[in-house]
Amino acid sequence: LCLTCVCSSSCCRAKEIKTKLGTLLQKPDSTIDFIIPYPEKPEKPPKAQRPSPEEALQWRDSLEKLLQNPYGLAIFRSFLRSEFSEENAEFWVACEDYKKTKSPVKMAEKAQKIYEEFIQTEAPKEVNIDHFTKAVTMKNLVEPSPTSFDMAQKRIFALMEKDSLPRFVRSEFYHELIK
């Protein structure tokens, strides 16, 4: 039974499997290493200047600083990909891009795309938000505005800050940066 959507649908079972796989990949001594290879070193983000170790150390306490740095965002996304949760960062980036949109027509097009890709039930990159947040977001999309996705974006930011950032800081991805 899913506590988010109060169902027993296959989408929730798929998310459970995804979570378990992410956990297994974080255990270097598990047998999964022999089945599913994952990068030993983080991928180098293209065209982004590597931060100084001092700058990277600041990311431990500030997801906002991490996400605002192009190199930090790229390396964090690589880490999230290894945990099968890259959709969270992708959603956050899409929302940031959406907020910068000036044209009402473009805004409506982007809102529809974000909804279909991240919000709607069984979306290809569905983010894990509660029903209330989903309902508010859907209501906001009747007349798209720069704040239409704010509540959902804040929920996903909080999720990354509480869950993903602490694991990232303990990961090899991060330790390579602070050497």
Residue 95 has a pLDDT of: 98
Tokens of 44: 């180098």
Tell me how far apart the alpha carbons of residues 177 and 128 are, in angstroms, rounded to a whole number: 29
Q: pLDDT per residue over 117-176, tens digit each?
A: 999 999 999 999 999 999 999 999 999 999 999 999 999 999 999 999 999 999 999 999
Residue 78 in contact with residue 42, Cβ under 8 Å? Answer: yes
Tell me how far apart the alpha carbons of residues 153 and 140 are, in angstroms, rounded to a whole number: 13
Residue 96 has a pLDDT of: 97
Residue 33 has a pLDDT of: 41
Residue 47 reports pLDDT greater than 80: no
Spacing of C-alpha 57 from chain mean position: 21
At residue 3 the predicted structure's pLDDT band, cuts being 50, 70 and 90, is: very low
Task: Please report the domains of the chain, with CATH numbers, ordered by start residue.
Answer: 53-176 (1.10.167.10)
User: Going by C-beta distance under 8 Å and a sequence separation of 6 or more, which residues neighbour residue 18?
Assistant: 84, 85
**Average pLDDT score over the chain:** 83
